[in-house]
Amino acid sequence: MSVDEAAVPAVLAARTGGSARRRGMVARPVALWQRRRAIRLLVGRDLKVRYASSALGYLWSVLEPLLLAGIYWFIFTQVFTRTVGAEPYIVFLIAGLLPWTWFNGAVTDAARALHVEAKLVRSTNVPREVWVVRVVLSKGVEFLLSLPVLFLFAFLYDASVDWQLLLLVPAVLLMATLVLGIGLLLAPLVVLVRDLERIVRIALRLGFYASPVIFAVQDVPEPWDAVFSFNPLAGIFELCRAGFFPGVVDWGHVGLSVAMSLGMLLVGWAVFARLERTVLKEI
Amino acid sequence: MAVTEPVIAVRDAGVRFHRGKRHRSMRDFLIRGERGTRPGEFWALDGVSFDVRPGEAIGVVGRNGEGKSTLLKLIAGVMLPDRGTVDVTAGVAPLIEITGGFVNDLTVRDNIALTAGLHGMSKADIAERFDDIVAFAEIPDFLDTPYKHLSSGMKVRIAFAVVSRLEEPIILVDEVLAVGDKAFKRKCYARIDELVAAGRTLFLVSHSDGDLRRFCSRGLYLRGGRLVEDGPMADVLARYETDAGT
């Protein structure tokens, strides 16, 4: 019985280990779900380190987006005359910067997830996706915990609030999907090609200005607005802002976000499954 | 013997490693796939097949670098075969690289909870066995000390205490018995005896004849990544000694 497993895609290969039985793209999410306790444990540990171990823990997690918001608010309302975004601009900024902080932090950390936890990955038989999912969720919880700051500023600056605030829910789901997809794609690649980590950091820097954080896609002149529409973050940020700025949501952008996030997740997971065995040897 | 279903079924398992260059280029991955053997590659494990039934105690012998640890990693599920299949139908408590799962900055207490949890122990079980684990490791005064401040002997003791408390039907032991002082070693032996007596399946990698004869009834002899002998422990050791002598 010589099954040449190398000839079939790794995704379909049978490797049964402990309770985690994985065969292909259906079984992988199932195996992950079975080990959700491990994920909860790791996320809990992350949050504990973040919030319990330093008195300023909570402040740290909102400080960066707030400082950035302050700086952009100053530059674009005091130095320049603001022509982009919407009023109150500080709320517009925070509603974009908080989800951007999640995206930025999760992609940076997820890319290094397998590399940084090499010792744990080598010694524990949990589905390897756990290490990426854990980062996405930890950063996601930090995002949720930072939302009160957004509401506080909306209240202080007397922003209008309506039922579309509920669109934050699909925004969170979309962001989690997108970041998980990107993380699953990058984590194994960073183990194999170390300099990719640096490229990711540069790409994120540029990505900030390629994403509608300090402006809206509608502010981008033709023909460039078409390019910005294809950024999956455009739809997500619009959903985040919908509750305070009526009419900001372009459902075309949201549709593209959904399609691209799901596509990213499929591609990311396929690459992850394909590279898993090589990564386990190199790590 | 053939009545019970095997808990471990290894079929034509092979693991390929790269000599020299650590990383293959992106082009190789994306275009050529992972087929075929290229120069500079070797099979650390090649065409290995065997079955293990519940309750067997198996000793793995072979010189350094002949594939023993790779075999254990396959069974532990922390490495995947490039060829063939490895089917493990019961939970595994891996006493290999045991200190690997511990995090330097967390306290001993947190580390015990984390490692036990990652290996699948439930919260209730952890709480119940916590005192046992601490007593076994003889570290009651160090529970709130960051793991990194412990001596290497203590680290191994905690790790052994945690992993050997996992209620898993299969136990993998890789050379860990070589560390620790005499008294602790005796405790480890007693614990392994206890586990084997309770019907667990044992997989032991060791260079010590004494350990192998003491715990194992069946032996596997790996040479050059191939399984060259599979039989009673005494016969396998005799064959290994003959090979080593010439």
Q: Does residue A59 surpass a pLDDT of 50?
A: yes
Mean pLDDT value of segment A36-63: 82
Task: Measure the CA angle with vertex A123, ends B15 and A201; round to 5°.
Answer: 90
Q: Does residue B210 surpass a pLDDT of 60?
A: yes
Minimal Cα–Cα distance from A257 to chain B, Å?
A: 26
Mean pLDDT value of segment B123-151: 88
In a domain, A8, yes or no: no
Contacts of B84 in chain A (CB under 8 A): 2-3, 5
pLDDT band at residue B243 under the 50/70/90 scheme: confident
Minimal Cα–Cα distance from B54 to chain A, Å?
A: 14
pLDDT at B39: 64
> Would you call A17 an interface residue with chain B, using a CB distance cutoff of 8 Å?
yes
| CA dihedral angle for residue B106, residue B107, residue B111, residue B114, rounded to 10 degrees | -60
Mean pLDDT value of segment B61-76: 88
CA R_g for chain B: 19
Q: Which of residues 77-136 of B touch A (CB under 8 A)?
A: 77-92, 94, 96-98, 100-101, 103, 105-106, 110, 113-115, 117-120, 122
Interface confidence: ipTM more than 0.85: no
Q: Do A5 and B81 touch (CB under 8 A)?
A: yes
Q: Are strands B201-205 and B170-174 parallel, antiparallel or unpaired?
A: parallel
**Closest chain B CA to residue A13:** B85
Summarize pLDDT for A133-175 with one digit per residue, the tens: 999 999 999 999 999 999 999 999 988 888 999 999 999 999 9
> Would you call B235 an interface residue with chain A, using a CB distance cutoff of 8 Å?
no
pLDDT at A5: 35
> Would you call A158 an interface residue with chain B, using a CB distance cutoff of 8 Å?
no
**Helices marked H in chain B — which ranges?**
26-27, 68-76, 108-118, 123-137, 152-163, 182-197, 209-215, 233-245
**Structure-model confidence comparison of residues A104 and A44, the more confident one:** A104
pLDDT at A11: 30
pLDDT at A21: 38
SS3 annotation, A9-71? CHHHCCEEECCEEECHHHHHHHHHHHCHHHHHHHHHHHHHHHHHCCCCHHHHHHHHHHHHHHH
Minimal Cα–Cα distance from A92 to chain B, Å?
A: 39
pLDDT band at residue A270 under the 50/70/90 scheme: very high
**Phi and psi of A270, rounded to 5°?**
-65, -45
Q: ω into residue A188 within 30 of 0, thus cis?
A: no
Q: Out of B12, B92, B122, whose CB is closest to A18?
A: B92
In a domain, A15, yes or no: no
**Helices marked H in chain A — which ranges?**
24-34, 36-47, 57-73, 89-111, 113-116, 118-123, 130-156, 168-192, 196-210, 224-229, 232-241, 251-282
Phi/psi region, residue A86 (left: phi>0; alpha: psi -120 to 50; beta: rest), is beta
Provide the token pair at A140.
Answer: 């996601």
Q: Out of A2, A35, A126, whose CB is closest to B12?
A: A2
**Structure-model confidence comparison of residues A66 and A48, the more confident one:** A66
Q: Do A38 and B117 touch (CB under 8 A)?
A: yes
pLDDT at A10: 32
In a domain, A11, yes or no: no
Question: Measured between alpha carbons, how far is A263 from B64 in angstroms, rounded to an integer?
Answer: 46
**Cβ atoms of B107 and B146 closer than 8 Å:** yes
| CA dihedral angle for residue A216, residue A217, residue A222, residue A228, rounded to 10 degrees | 140
Q: Do A41 and B114 touch (CB under 8 A)?
A: yes
Contacts of A280 in chain B (CB under 8 A): 78-80
Summarize pLDDT for A60-106 with one digit per residue, the tens: 778 888 898 899 999 988 888 888 888 889 999 999 999 999 999 99
Provide the token pair at B72.
Answer: 């254990």
pLDDT band at residue A12 under the 50/70/90 scheme: very low
**Phi and psi of A184, rounded to 5°?**
-65, -30
Q: ω into residue A88 within 30 of 0, thus cis?
A: yes
Q: Do B86 and A277 touch (CB under 8 A)?
A: no
Q: Out of B35, B80, B97, whose CB is closest to A15?
A: B80
> Would you call A165 an interface residue with chain B, using a CB distance cutoff of 8 Å?
no
Q: Do A13 and B120 touch (CB under 8 A)?
A: no
Q: Does residue B25 surpass a pLDDT of 50?
A: yes
The CA-atom distances, in angstroms, between B19 and each of A119, A156, B66, B78, B96 are 22, 63, 14, 20, 23
Q: Do A277 and B80 touch (CB under 8 A)?
A: yes
pLDDT at B30: 58
Average per-residue pLDDT for chain A: 86
pLDDT at B180: 66
Chain B contact probe: residue of A34, A281, A283 with most B CBs at under 10 A: A281
pLDDT band at residue A267 under the 50/70/90 scheme: very high
Minimal Cα–Cα distance from B105 to chain A, Å?
A: 10
Mean pLDDT value of segment B25-43: 61
Average per-residue pLDDT for chain B: 84
Q: Does residue B68 surpass a pLDDT of 60?
A: yes
Q: Are strands B92-95 and B8-18 parallel, antiparallel or unpaired?
A: unpaired
In a domain, A22, yes or no: no
Mean pLDDT value of segment B72-79: 91
Q: Do A20 and B110 touch (CB under 8 A)?
A: no
Q: Which residues of A80-105 are buried (b: 16+ CB within 10 A; e: fewer)?
A: eebeebbebbbbbbbbbbbbbbbbbb
**Structure-model confidence comparison of residues A235 and B174, the more confident one:** A235
| CA dihedral angle for residue B152, residue B209, residue B70, residue B93, rounded to 10 degrees | -60
| B95: helix, strand or coil | strand
pLDDT at B60: 92
Mean pLDDT value of segment A191-214: 92
Provide, rounded to the nearest whole percent, the portion of chain B with pLDDT above 70.
88
**Structure-model confidence comparison of residues B48 and A12, the more confident one:** B48
Domain that holds residue A57: 39-282
pLDDT at A58: 79
> Would you call A18 an interface residue with chain B, using a CB distance cutoff of 8 Å?
yes
All residues at 6 or more sequence positions from B62 whose CB lies less than 8 Å from its CB, including other chains? B68, B221, B222, B223, B240
Q: Choose the weakest-confidence range: A49-53, A96-100, B141-145.
A: A49-53
Q: Does residue B29 surpass a pLDDT of 80?
A: no
Q: Tokens 């290894």 identify what position?
A: B10
Q: Do A5 and B79 touch (CB under 8 A)?
A: no
Q: Which of residues 257-276 of A touch B (CB under 8 A)?
A: 274-276
Predicted TM-score (pTM) of the model is: 0.86
Q: Does residue B126 surpass a pLDDT of 70?
A: yes
pLDDT band at residue B179 under the 50/70/90 scheme: low
Q: Do A16 and B88 touch (CB under 8 A)?
A: yes
What architecture is the B8-245 domain classified under in CATH?
3-Layer(aba) Sandwich (3.40)
pLDDT at A225: 86
Chain B contact probe: residue of A124, A192, A194, A271 with most B CBs at under 10 A: A124
pLDDT at B186: 85
pLDDT at B246: 56
In a domain, A161, yes or no: yes
pLDDT band at residue B164 under the 50/70/90 scheme: confident
State the DSSP code for B19. S
Q: Does residue A9 surpass a pLDDT of 60?
A: no
**Phi and psi of A160, rounded to 5°?**
-75, 140
Q: Tokens 């290995």 identify what position?
A: B48
Question: Measured between alpha carbons, how far is A95 from B206 in angstroms, rounded to an integer?
Answer: 59
Question: Measured between alpha carbons, how far is A171 from A69 in angstroms, rounded to an integer?
Answer: 20
Phi/psi region, residue B175 (left: phi>0; alpha: psi -120 to 50; beta: rest), is left
> Would you call A45 an interface residue with chain B, using a CB distance cutoff of 8 Å?
yes
Contacts of A119 in chain B (CB under 8 A): 97, 100-101
pLDDT band at residue B20 under the 50/70/90 scheme: low
Question: Measured between alpha carbons, how far is A182 from B53 in angstroms, rounded to an integer?
Answer: 42
pLDDT band at residue B168 under the 50/70/90 scheme: confident
